A and B are shown apart, each in its own frame.
Chain A
Amino acid sequence: SQQGEEDPQALSIQEGENATMNCSYKTSINNLQWYRQNSGRGLVHLILIRSNEREKHSGRLRVTLDTSKKSSSLLITASRAADTASYFCATASGGGSARQLTFGSGTQLTVLP
């Protein structure tokens, strides 16, 4: 079953605005990761937040994690046209060799120049 679900499915903003994407999941996790996929390309890792962390920053990215609500958000500040892509959350669950990532269906972000 699908673990992570992103919201909204599509988001269109003007350059310079902030973009917020949300992810909800169903079971307990070890960590949650956000990935980006440009059209026709593979996924690129953006940021990882562990289950005992609440907030993490990387450049213009800010990720929050609320394990009580089983949700995470990705904030991209001062967006640029080059940020146009699909963004996926992925939850890591399971132990040892059974650890795997489960991806949501993504948010398509369009940043208009």
Chain B
Amino acid sequence: DTAVSQTPKYLVTQMGNDKSIKCEQNLGHDTMYWYKQDSKKFLKIMFSYNNKELIINETVPNRFSPKSPDKAHLNLHINSLELGDSAVYFCASSQGLGLASGFQETQYFGPGTRLLVL
């Protein structure tokens, strides 16, 4: 049973296209994240959602728009794809952010989506 799943696993597309990556977690976690990992394996947070509410929005082009229809899903839509968007995108989730939740900070990662923009 996959805890954090992402689709698609691979995405090859042309520059200028619009694409979406979907993420779902079945752990009952309150918080979900999107990370970008570049070719040098540097992992950088892009967004964080807590109970469907945007919490962290790092310096990311506004071509990237996260959408959380419910707390188990956090999708990433990318408009007008550019060559520099090629990377591996990871979704992750964690139990919660507040002290009341016991502050469970371990993050559980999905398998990644390998995006190649041609």
Do A and B bind? yes
State the A residues within 8 Å of B (CB). Answer: 2, 31, 33, 35, 37, 40-45, 48, 86, 88, 92, 96-106, 108
Q: Is the beta-carbon distance between B42 and A103 smaller than 8 angstroms?
A: yes
Complex contacts, B111 vs chain A, CB 8 Å: 41-42
**Most B CB atoms within 10 A — which of A31, A43, A44, A102?**
A43
**B11 beta carbon closer than 8 Å to chain A:** no
Spell out B's residues near A (CB within 8 Å).
Answer: 4, 35, 40-45, 48, 50, 55-56, 90, 92, 97-98, 105-112
Which residue on chain A has the smallest CB distance to residue B38? A105
Query: Shortest distance in angstroms between A30's beta carbon and chain B's nearest beta carbon?
Result: 8
Q: A41-B111, A42-B4, A42-B111 are in contact. Are A99 and B43 (CB under 8 A)?
A: no
* Distance A104 CA – B37 CA, assembled complex (angstroms): 11
The answer to whether B109 and A42 have CB atoms under 8 Å apart is yes
| Contact status B106-A43, CB under 8 Å | no
C-alpha spacing A35/B41, complex, angstroms: 13
Q: Is A105's CB under 8 angstroms from B105's CB?
A: no
4 A-B pairs closest in CB distance: A42-B109, A103-B43, A43-B109, A45-B106
Task: List 16 interface pairs A-B (beta carbons < 8 Å), by A numbering.
Answer: A2-B42, A33-B105, A41-B112, A42-B109, A42-B110, A42-B112, A43-B43, A45-B106, A45-B107, A86-B41, A88-B43, A92-B105, A97-B50, A97-B98, A100-B48, A103-B44
In the bound complex, CA of A68 to CA of B42 (Å): 25
